Structure 1
Amino acid sequence: MQKQTRWKYYIDKEFQNHFIFGFSGILIINALLTIGIVWLVKSNPYSLLPEGASVLVQVDAEKAVGLSKQPDGKYAIDDAGTPFFPLKSGADGRPLHQYNAFDIYLTPVILISLLNILVIIAYSLFFSHRMAGPVHRIKMSLEDYVAGKQVGYIKLRKNDHFSELADLLNKALKLEEKKKNG
């Protein structure tokens, strides 16, 4: 009998798809919870700015100015004495881009979640292959046995799961064959 080299990773599609989707489902729920938490944070904006600043503002580094807290608690541009917040436009008159926590974190959370899902799908496929292969091999051997065909030794690959089950079935089949042969 010719030795088969198995490179097919989708051996038992129903089992492997169930395994992959179950594993990925956990990640999807995790991603949705993370996005939900970020959405809740949106109501309390991220602030790297002094008290009273509700948003992080994009600033042109070449035209940045220093701030100082005035005795009345407001912030003013250093040496100018004019109120700095709330900012409405930059030095060139264009409106400033304002960020809040949701804007800042949403894209990275989505990208990392998608990357995690892809990694889990790939891992699940290879991991489930080490389970589906032996299950498929054992199932085929048992189907042959039930059909009355000659069943050979169930041999699994080195890192496959369920090797103890295959060994036990091999012992049972060997014992049954001894009983038949007398």
Structure 2
Amino acid sequence: MTPEPMWVFAYGSLMWNPGFPVAETHVARVEGYHRSFCMWSIHHRGTTESPGLVLALDEGSGVNCLGLGLRVEPGAEEESLALLRERELVSSAYLEKEIDLILQPGEVVRAVTYVIDPNHEQYCRHLSLEDQAQTIARAVGGRGPNTEYLYNTVDHLRETGIEDPELNWLSQRVREITTGSDA
């Protein structure tokens, strides 16, 4: 009997830096969640003293999120899941979920993804876009500048044909702030 393939839903840095061997990639959609800079980053893109922001899937009614469905290379499932847990569960602000993922052109698969714990102290749901931009423009963490995280995510979304107007606005605004042209 062939084991079930392992799928991962990538909506932020996993799109451009999965950290595990990927056998197959598809644009994919998850229902009931949207991508949002709603998590303070105190490890990877900020510090405890100067937190950055990272994306999380935030649960909501009537919302969805486009990202990438990544099928893990057969035989690498156990190691890949361990790597994902080490990376994504570093502060327990994410919850690991198994969700239905709709691959383009319509196949539904079960996938692992990471969603924000709305009861965690790193959850910051109601920041304005301007406050998000100001935070991202200045924060730096163990994996580098918060700006790099934003720019790479936006670039990768564009490369895959996914439009995210909020992230596009944030990218433009952060560039204005960091170049001093934020008149």
* Higher fraction of helix: 1
Fold match (TM-score > 0.5): no
For the pair shown, the structure with the greater C-alpha radius of gyration is 1
TM-score grouping bracket, smaller chain normalisation: under 0.3
* Higher fraction of strand: 2
